[in-house]
């Protein structure tokens, strides 16, 4: 029965990710109009609603303009957690918690002739202890708005940015939470009144809590869960998680324990057929958090966004670690077959085997000397006897005179 539930969750989330990749209406003009609202228009609810919706052709564009303005102009302020939300006060001070965002959206929507409601419930977002309810979920408010006779879901707070565990707010606009499909919205929002899930049948609280924790980047990057559809995983000393991902998306992973990041080679994410494999090892038995981050290709220093989070109980530990990965390894779509151990034995032959698409030469650098690996069909392999210190896998690509670092091993 447990396996059947996990399989159903996996199928649903995969279908949701595919649905999320469907192109939506282009709101560029509406968003630009909302962002350029003059201060003179934002002095009252009525004047702002009138300005935001003057160029809107229908109710969907009205709701979008209101969402965009609030998400760009209202800053989350945890000091207002106990304040009574009032739309005009929120408009004046441009600061609020989620209740303030929700009452302002409803007021502006109603002033624009839309039907809107405030929805109260819980979310899986991190937040301050004072905002956590008895069910362990963050107390949260959002909105429903009626568009062309059907209700849709909107969260201006999360459209504006995200909270960390200490209640610190990072301003970062995302339109994922504007009219989010209900089956996607239900991954991180659970209304107290089940009918506002807008799902038939609605999810039970137990099913909601079992679901893997995903962030907007999961849907925005077109990721899919190929394994592990539930949030909690029981593992031995190691684990492999597979994510589906389009070719233009890169994925990395990080492991933490008790809030402290473990950075010493405990995760290794590399491209595989249809996506990525994330291999994980655990230094000891205990509870861990695994987060997968994603971004589209671009500058090497581009920021990765949190996409998927798991809670893992490891029954045992291992001394094994993975090699250190350089950015080029992922950017070049490399795949390592061997060696996976990040610590190599000195003075003993080690077989290297890696797929490095497009490389003209691949070498293992040891103490300033290069051992070239023979190539066949894009796979570079060969036996190398490393000396104590470090061994680094380098590759040279067409049009480049310098070699790029791919992986680094410790030798002892």
Q: Report pLDDT for 220.
A: 87
Helices assigned H by DSSP within 211-289 = 216-220
What's the rounded Cα separation, in Å, for the pair 73 and 156?
11
Tell me the pLDDT tens digit for each residue of 351-400: 999 999 999 999 999 988 999 999 998 899 999 999 999 999 999 999 99
CB 70 within 8 A of CB 48: no
Q: What spatial distance separates the first Cα and last Cα of the chain, rounded to whole Å? A: 48
Geometric angle at alpha carbon 220, from 227 and 90, rounded to 5°: 125
Q: Which residues contact 348 (CB under 8 A, 6 or more apart)?
A: 385
**pTM > 0.85: yes or no:** no
Q: Report pLDDT for 286.
A: 97
Would you write out the chain's pLDDT as a tens digit for each of its 412 residues? 434 434 444 434 444 444 443 335 789 999 999 999 999 999 999 999 999 999 999 999 999 999 999 999 999 998 998 899 999 999 999 999 999 999 999 999 999 999 999 999 999 876 666 677 777 788 999 999 999 999 999 999 999 998 776 778 889 899 999 999 999 999 999 999 999 999 999 999 999 999 998 988 998 899 999 999 899 999 999 999 999 999 999 999 999 999 899 987 999 999 998 999 999 999 999 999 999 999 998 765 578 999 999 999 999 999 999 999 999 999 999 999 999 999 999 999 999 999 999 999 999 999 889 999 999 988 999 999 999 999 999 999 999 999 999 999 999 9
Q: Which residues contact 205 (CB under 8 A, 6 or more apart)?
A: 135, 190
User: What domains are defined for the chain?
Assistant: 25-210 (3.10.620), 224-314 (2.60.40.10), 324-411 (2.60.40.10)
Tell me the pLDDT tens digit for each residue of 237-263: 999 999 999 999 999 999 999 989 998
Give helix 45-53 / helix 98-111 axis angle, nearest 10°.
70
Q: Cis peptide leading into 53, omega within 30 of 0? A: no
Q: Report pLDDT for 15.
A: 43
Q: Report pLDDT for 129.
A: 65
Tell me the pLDDT tens digit for each residue of 283-310: 999 999 999 999 998 765 578 999 999 9
């Amino acid at each position: 029965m447990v396996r059947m539930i996990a399989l159903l969750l996996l199928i649903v989330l995969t279908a949701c990710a595919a649905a999320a990749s469907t192109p939506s209406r282009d709101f560029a003009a509406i968003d630009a109009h909302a962002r350029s609202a003059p201060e003179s228009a934002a002095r009252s609810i009525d004047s702002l609603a009138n300005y935001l919706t003057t160029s809107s052709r229908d109710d969907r564009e009205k709701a979008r303009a209101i969402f965009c303005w609030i998400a760009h102009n209202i800053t989350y302020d945890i000091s207002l957690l106990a304040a009574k939300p009032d739309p005009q006060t929120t408009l004046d001070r441009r600061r609020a918690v989620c209740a303030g965002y929700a009452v302002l959206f409803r007021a502006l929507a109603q002033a624009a002739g839309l039907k809107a409601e405030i929805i109260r419930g819980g979310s899986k977002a991190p937040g301050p202890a004072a905002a956590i309810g008895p069910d362990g979920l963050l107390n949260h408010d959002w909105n429903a708005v009626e568009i062309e006779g059907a209700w849709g879901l909107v969260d201006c707070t999360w459209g504006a940015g995200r909270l960390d565990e200490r209640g610190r707010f990072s301003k970062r606009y995302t339109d994922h939470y504007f009219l989010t499909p209900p089956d996607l919205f239900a991954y991180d929002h659970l209304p107290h009144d089940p009918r506002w899930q807008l799902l038939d049948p609605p999810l039970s609280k137990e099913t909601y809590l079992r679901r893997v924790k995903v962030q907007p980047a999961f849907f925005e990057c077109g990721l899919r869960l190929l394994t592990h559809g539930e949030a909690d995983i029981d593992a031995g000393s190691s684990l492999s998680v597979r994510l589906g991902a389009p070719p233009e998306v890169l994925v990395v992973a990080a492991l933490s324990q008790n809030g402290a990041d473990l950075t010493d080679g405990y995760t290794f994410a590399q491209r595989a057929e249809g996506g990525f494999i994330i291999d994980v090892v655990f230094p000891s038995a205990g509870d861990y958090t695994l987060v997968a981050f994603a971004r589209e290709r671009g500058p090497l220093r581009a920021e990765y966004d949190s996409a998927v989070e798991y809670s893992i109980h490891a029954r045992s530990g291992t001394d094994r670690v993975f090699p250190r990965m350089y950015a080029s390894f992922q950017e070049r779509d490399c795949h390592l077959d061997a060696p996976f151990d990040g610590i190599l034995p000195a003075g003993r032959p080690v077989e290297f085997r890696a797929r490095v698409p497009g490389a003209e030469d691949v070498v293992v650098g040891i103490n300033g000397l290069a051992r070239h690996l023979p190539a066949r069909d894009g796979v570079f392999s060969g036996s190398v006897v490393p000396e104590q210190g470090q061994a680094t896998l380098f590759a040279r690509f067409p049009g480049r005179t310098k070699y790029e670092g791919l992986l680094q091993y410790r030798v002892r």
